[in-house]
Structure 1
């Protein structure tokens, strides 16, 4: 397992440099003078010159890349041109909200998808299988913002069971923290749950058709042991792959969900950076998002080693 971790960490280094390069190219790809665009139409020449000097736009691309990498290694992602606030300070304020939302969404997705997909596989061709397949198809056709609005109307406005939006940090208590995350987390989890349920069903069906499963059942082993101890572990590898891919989808969908529920998270921060043309902040958002996806991939590879012993060699 340690070999897998070490190998994946080594392979992550060039990928991380690639993410930094993409983040830096955001300035290079801007039409016109990036300093003037970020400073605004009414900016003074002094303000434009200050932004140009802060972004090292007068230096060569290699020097800018080296300076950017060195700053990232020191935890310096730059400062927003308009406010002068360090980008990392703004990200560190917003990131815990999105991480909390993503965690709740993924937990919801797993709790819904694994039992539903397993039930569909066990009742292959029956009413339960058709119901799960149809529900997954319908859910995948419903955008997250539509699901979020429907949840707000039903659970918050009509019945006042849950708050309509906002965020309560864990320091205010686990109850308020969870109450504010239930509706947006569920809205964000639906698409991931539908994809996971379909993948779980397919993987479990393939596993149930294996000869060793038939042999275990022929020996009279209890069904829950056949499913929980043998079939589930061998069917988990493709499911874990899809779950890892859903991390990126959840981060992307969080932009809309956070805006609907009035949560000042990472997605809302990214949207605000785009609207205000804050390229330095956009660079930080792209970099942190890329690191998050890379970390998720490393976790998936470690899970491979647990579920599939062949990967450990």
Structure 2
């Protein structure tokens, strides 16, 4: 297990370096010389723009700028925003809890419901299973931002059952926090539940056909015990792997959902500052996002490896 963990950590570190380099080069190249101009305004003279670029180090080669950024990031210094005196670390500290609350809530809700639905459909292969197939296909075909707009309009504006926009910190009220995330979590979770439940259903059907399951039944074990101890354990690796893959899509979808529900998370921070060319803040969001993906997928891989030791050989 230690060797398996070391390989996963090395892969994650390499992924972080590659993505940060590609993101930095693309962002810096796309911005060109417009960063200093945007900071100073349209009335800035060429000399003022040049002086600002020298002050920010934007006149140096892109690779040299990236290495400077890496040197600071290794020390925990992600720099400061080009437009405000706020540090990138402080901006991330404000936005990160919002995005983590949203995405991790979706992950938990999706995992619990998907495994419950998948196992139920695998055991009861009648009208319930057929209805799930139809509903999951329909859910997969609808983008989550359309679901979010529908929920915000119907349940948030027309019926006023939930707040249509905004975020409440759990430090103020846990109940108000849960209510403020109800609609965004629902909008993101529906697609994830459908995808993961399909995988759990297929895997559970395959397990239920195995000879050892029939042997356990012949020994008088209850169906509930067989499902929870044997079927769930042996079919969960497929579902967990799918859930880990879905997590990357959830992060991407959260960018749009945060805009729909006006949540001050990483997605909103990235969209706002990308248009302005605020390189330090955007790079901070990139690093935070990649680290979240690496950690969550590492946890999923470790759970899968614990459930299925053969997975450690990959």
What TM-score, normalized to structure 2?
0.91
Q: Distance in 1 between matches of 2:52 and 2:310?
A: 53
Would you say 1:87 and 2:88 are equivalent positions? yes
Question: Is 2:286 the partner of 1:278?
Answer: no
Describe how 1:101-250 pairs up with structure 2 within 5 A.
Answer: 101-124=102-125, 126-250=126-250
> What are the Cα deviations for residues 135-172 of structure 1, in whole angstroms up to 9, with x where unaligned?
11111112212212222233333433222221111111
* Structure 1 residue matching 2:79: 3-state secondary structure: coil
Q: Deviations over 1:226-282 (max 9, x none)?
A: 111011111111111111112111111111211111211111111111232323322
What residue number does 2:73 align with? 72
Q: Are the counterparts in 1 of residues 114 and 194 from structure 2 also a CA contact under 8 Å?
A: yes
Hey, what does 1:30 align to over in structure 2?
A: 30
Q: Report if aligned partners of 1:27, 1:34 keep a CA contact under 8 Å in 2.
A: no
- 1:130 deviates by 0.7
Report which stretch shifted further, 82-91 or 263-272: 82-91
RMSD (Å), alpha carbons: 2.2
| Alpha-carbon distance between aligned partners in 2 of 1:180 and 1:121, rounded to the nearest angstrom | 34
Structure 2 CA distance for partners of 1:143 and 1:27, relative to 1, 3 Å:
closer
- Provide the C-alpha distance between the structure 2 equivalents of 1:121 and 1:229, rounded to a whole number of angstroms: 16
Q: Output one character per residue of 1:197-244: Cα deviation in whole Å (capped at 9) or x when no partner.
A: 111111111211222112212222111111110111111111111111
Which stretch of structure 1 is more off in the superposition, 285-294 or 37-46? 37-46
> Any gaps of 5 or more consecutive residues in structure 1?
none
Does the 8 Å CA contact 1:37/1:277 hold for their aligned counterparts?
A: no
Show the 5 A alignment for 1:281-296: 281-296=281-296
Q: Secondary structure at the match of 1:30?
A: helix
C-alpha separation in 1, matches of 2:156 and 2:27: 42
5 Å matches for 1:257-272? 257-272=257-272
49-58 vs 113-122, which moves further: 49-58
Q: Distance in 2 between matches of 1:207 and 1:132?
A: 20
Give yes or no for contact 1:164–1:261 (8 Å, CA) kept in 2: yes
Give the equivalent residue in structure 2 for 1:309.
309
Question: For this pair of structures, how many residues does the alignment match?
Answer: 312
Q: Tell me the SS of whatever aligns to 1:171.
A: coil
2:30 partner SS: coil
Partners of 1:293 and 1:53 lie apart in 2 by 35
Q: 1:44 to 1:147 in 2, by over 3 A?
A: same
